[in-house]
Amino acid sequence: MLTLSNSNSFYDEQENNKPYACQKPLEIYSVIDPLCPECWSLEPVLKKLQVQYGHYFTLRHFVSGSLESLNTYVPRKKGINTAEQIAEKWEKTASISGMSCDGDVWLENPISAPHKATLAIKAAELQGKQQGMKFLRKLRENLFLNKQNIGNDDVLLDIARSVNLDEDEFLSDLSSEATIKALRCDLKFSQEMDVTQIPTLIVFNDKTDDDGIKISGCYSYEVYVEILKEMSDIPLEPSPLPELEEFLSSYSFVATKEVSVVYQISCEEAEKRLKRLVLQQKVERVPVKYGTFWRYLPNR
């Protein structure tokens, strides 16, 4: 569903609190749940948007939901949210989207404290936007691919180490007032923007007072490009696609599906190109439950 989303008091407050003016004309606010397989399935499209139009927009992730729902997400034995039902949904989403997510985590290693995962994302962001995005990506990889309990403090600390966060600062921020406030701001934003489905992207033009456009659900890459063009007051020209090795170097660990979407080729063709790089010892193949991921090997 495509809807117009009115600029509101919360957004105005955020604008007034910015430490500097944004140099890119567009902003994309991505409202997600880190445990949501549909949000994970949008990663290939977001990567292609960043590669080809990233010079026109900034991307920021917001956590959706409510504090109550974040604390009670753990599946119940009765009702519609049993572990078996959630596992089945994950498996179905993975088979459709091409982005692997292993539902067995809910049966073997269920998420003990979902709210800790969301607080960890906000804590990581306090060390910088890029560090926060790297942490979010690695958090999802550990959840969807490795069946890790991302509500566990030790798992969260391992993820923080893997993206080179300051460990002491991260541990301190996990329960800090600044982190809790940041999470509350995210939840307030999603409520004021009337986000009722995730993922939701909200596109704003930072240079005008026009209303934003809210896109709820998952759509094709072309739909998002058209919305960016509609929101921009200048013509948008896509950047040329980088060489595959350069793309892998930038993102380090990607799915066959992500390469397929970014380069607009079939998954079979993507596999062929990636296997050539394996033979050159530039990439390592990492099989997962649904499909394959590829790890870039630097200095090879």
How many domains in the chain?
2
Mapped onto helix, strand or coil, the DSSP state of residue 62 is strand
Q: Is residue 21 part of a domain?
A: yes
What is the C-alpha to C-alpha distance for residues 50 and 30, in angstroms, rounded to an integer? 13
**Closest to 42 measured CA to CA, from 280, 290, 255:** 255
**Closest to 59 measured CA to CA, from 221, 210, 203:** 203
Instruction: Looking at the structure, tell me whether residues 60 and 135 fall in a common domain.
Output: yes
Instruction: Looking at the structure, tell me whether residues 103 and 35 fall in a common domain.
Output: yes
Q: What residue ranges of the chain have pLDDT lower than 50? A: 1-2, 4-22, 66-70, 72, 75-78, 80
pLDDT at 32 (0 to 100): 96
Instruction: Looking at the structure, tell me whether residues 55 and 181 fall in a common domain.
Output: yes
Q: Is residue 121 part of a domain?
A: yes
pLDDT at 207 (0 to 100): 81
Q: Is residue 237 part of a domain?
A: no
pLDDT at 68 (0 to 100): 44
Q: Is residue 213 part of a domain?
A: no
pLDDT at 14 (0 to 100): 41
Spacing of C-alpha 55 from chain mean position: 19
Instruction: Looking at the structure, tell me whether residues 131 and 270 fall in a common domain.
Output: no
Q: Is residue 16 part of a domain?
A: yes
Instruction: Looking at the structure, tell me whether residues 32 and 113 fall in a common domain.
Output: yes
Instruction: Looking at the structure, tell me whether residues 121 and 32 fall in a common domain.
Output: yes
- Sheet order of strands, 283-287 included: 253-255, 292-296, 283-287
Q: Is residue 234 part of a domain?
A: no
Full residue range of the structural domain in which residue 36 is found: 2-192
What is the C-alpha to C-alpha distance for residues 22 and 126, in angstroms, rounded to an integer? 19
Q: Is residue 229 part of a domain?
A: no
Instruction: Looking at the structure, tell me whether residues 186 and 251 fall in a common domain.
Output: no
CATH of the domain at 182: 3.40.30.10
**Taking the model in full, what pTM does it have?**
0.88
Instruction: Looking at the structure, tell me whether residues 170 and 105 fall in a common domain.
Output: yes
Instruction: Looking at the structure, tell me whether residues 260 and 115 fall in a common domain.
Output: no
Q: Is residue 158 part of a domain?
A: yes
pLDDT at 210 (0 to 100): 77
Q: Per-residue pLDDT tens for 94-146?
A: 999 999 999 999 999 999 899 999 999 999 999 999 999 999 999 999 999 99
Q: Per-residue pLDDT tens for 34-53?
A: 999 999 999 999 999 999 99
CATH of the domain at 291: 1.10.10.10
Instruction: Looking at the structure, tell me whether residues 68 and 173 fall in a common domain.
Output: yes
pLDDT at 247 (0 to 100): 98
